[in-house]
Structures are given as structure tokens and as C-alpha cells.
Amino acid sequence: MNWHWEHTVGALKISVLWAVVFIIVLAIPVNVEPITEYVQLPAPPPEIIYERVEAPVEVVKEVEVIKEVVKWRTIFDREFESVKHFKEWYAAQNFKPLFPSPDHLVDCDDYAQRVQITALRQGYAVSVALVMNGVYYGKGVTDVPNGHAGILIQIKGTYYYAEPEPGEIELVKVTNRD
């Protein structure tokens, strides 16, 4: 097998792994509660119907229209106030290093998913960020070659990439929301 073929197979394995991770993340139940409000709309103007009789007959129908308005509220109602707040939250979670087993290799996506699930359960919106060759959305965020996983967090309208492994927490500004 030549060098190019080995890297192509390696990249394919990583792509399949991330597809499985993406499907698993989509399978995480998210509690979204519909909020229903009823709004009373004004009655339409009266309808006039003319019949061929000696005098026109006016028919007035009063109709009460009730329209159901559904608003969605997500459970992610908390936001990190600052980089310091995120780092304090992360430290308070007391994440321990994960250890591999014969059935499972522990790597970056396991750490990223663990941080994401912990944050989601506490109401913080945190995403797993998939990095290729150390670049995320055109910004160099890590020295790790090939595929890598970190997390994406929002702090006051600015998105940051963070390395999720214990002892390596480092935030890199990626972009502003607007």
C-alpha cells in the first residue's frame, strides 16, 4: 500500500467515525416544549350576498376566529458570561481522563462529546467541533494533524474553539456571531 492510499483509507475511517458520532449526537433527546398562545383575531367584515329578488337581502355572519400560535423555547437558556466563567465551569465539572478498554479506544471525540453532554444537561449550548489539519472555519486552532474534535462555545456573541481534554483547556476565538 502506498502512502497516499493509506492516508485515503485513514481519512475514510475518520469520516465514517464522524458520521456515526453525528448520528449519535442527533439521537440525544432534546426537551423542547411548545408554548401555545391563543390570539383572538378581529372578525372579518360582514359578507353581503345579493339575490335576484325585489330587494337585496343583507346576510351578516359573525365568525370568531381563534388562531393557535406555537412558539418554541429551547432548553438552552444559559450562556457563558466570559472565558473565565467557562474555565471555572469546566474546572468545577472535575473531568477526569478517560481510559481505553479492549473494546473502545478513547480519543478526542470522546472528550468533546462528554463536555457537550454535560453542558447540554446544564442548559449551555455547546457543540462538538470537527477540525481538519488543525483548521476550523479557516482559523488555525490546534497543532493536531488530520482529523480532530474539540468543542465550540459562544461567549457574548463570540464563538470560541476549545480543546476538551482535561489539563489542555485552551480557547481560541473563531468568529463573531454577527
pLDDT in tens, 3-26: 555 656 666 677 767 766 666 656
- Tell me if 126 is assigned to some domain: yes
The answer to whether 64 and 40 are in contact (CB under 8 A) is yes
Integer-rounded Cα Rg, in Å, for the chain is 27
Which residue range forms the structural domain that includes residue 157? 75-176
**Alpha-carbon distance 106 to 40, whole Å?**
56
Report which of 133, 168, 136 is spatially closest to residue 152, judged by C-alpha positions.
Answer: 136
In a domain, 58, yes or no: no
Per-residue confidence (pLDDT) for residue 27, from 0 to 100: 61
Query: Strands 171-176 and 158-162: what pairing?
Result: antiparallel
The closest alpha carbon to 158, from 140, 173, 141, belongs to 173
Does the residue 40 lie in any domain? no
pLDDT in tens, 33-63: 666 677 777 777 777 776 665 666 677 777 7
- Residues with Cβ within 8 Å of 170's Cβ and at least 6 positions away in sequence, in order, are 162, 163
Res. 28 pLDDT band, cuts 50 70 90:
low
Cell readout for 51 is 339575490
Within a domain: 127: yes
- Tell whether 170 is covered by a domain: yes
How many domains, the chain?
A: 1
Determine what percent of the chain is predicted with pLDDT higher than 70: 63
User: Residue 131 domain-assigned?
Assistant: yes
Predicted pLDDT at 7:
57
Whether the pLDDT of residue 1 is over 60: the answer is no
Given a cut of 70, is residue 32 above it in pLDDT? no
Residue 117 within a domain:
yes
Average pLDDT over residues 70-78: 61
92 located within any domain: yes
**Total residue count of the chain as it appears in this document:** 178
